[in-house]
Copies of this chain bind each other. A is one copy, B any other.
């Protein structure tokens, strides 16, 4: 009974960044803030690097939920940007779904705040419409570990695949020979340990 490997394909992927807003991010307590900020920006860098169609959406950004992370706005100036007037599940917003369908992609990378709502609801909706859904777990945050694990269970039971930004980058790139410097730089910018490796390697090589 073989299992087909549902593999990310950079020509089939769209990225959904849901509600990474200043106020909501202050609610995230299942990942350390330094690391969480870094993870979100790493995922954004991946979207840019692989030129993946990316869709931004926010909820009530004029109220306490606060404005979108400024870097995301700057990095995706031309991306569809759906400031939802009220729908909690982004998939309930027609413009959002239209924007996704306009990309023609069937694999969706979803990350957002908070995991059990802003990520899980559109993920479950997308699965119900036959999209392949990949949750970027470490670029999504919520109140605590209990909530995160419960949300994971609900999504995986419905068929979502759980990944991390590093796995996403690796699965999309497939072969280092496609571009060593580019991907290496992306990793070095977001993994201090990896940057240390590169710095040490360069120094050791130069020292000879």
What residues of chain A have their CB less than 8 Å away from a CB belonging to chain B? 1-5, 7, 22-23, 25-27, 29, 31-38, 59-67, 69-70, 85-89, 92, 114, 116-117, 120-121, 124-125, 127-130, 137-138, 143-144, 146-154, 156-159, 161-164, 166-167, 170-171, 173-178, 180, 184, 191-205, 207-208
Contact = CB atoms under 8 A, between A and B. Distances in A.
16 contacts: A2-B127, A2-B130, A26-B200, A62-B203, A64-B198, A64-B200, A65-B197, A66-B204, A70-B199, A120-B167, A143-B164, A143-B166, A147-B166, A150-B162, A150-B167, A200-B204
B196 A25 contact: yes
A26 B196 contact: yes
B170 A86 contact: no
A154 B170 CA distance: 15
Contacts of A69: 199
Contact of A61 (B31, B125, B203): B203
Contacts of A167: 116-117, 120, 147, 150-151
B86 A177 contact: yes
Nearest to A133: B3
Contacts of A138: 144, 146-147, 150
Given A35-B32, A207-B62, A152 B151 contact: no
A1 B143 CA distance: 32
Contacts of A180: 63
Nearest to A152: B153
Contacts of A175: 86-88, 92
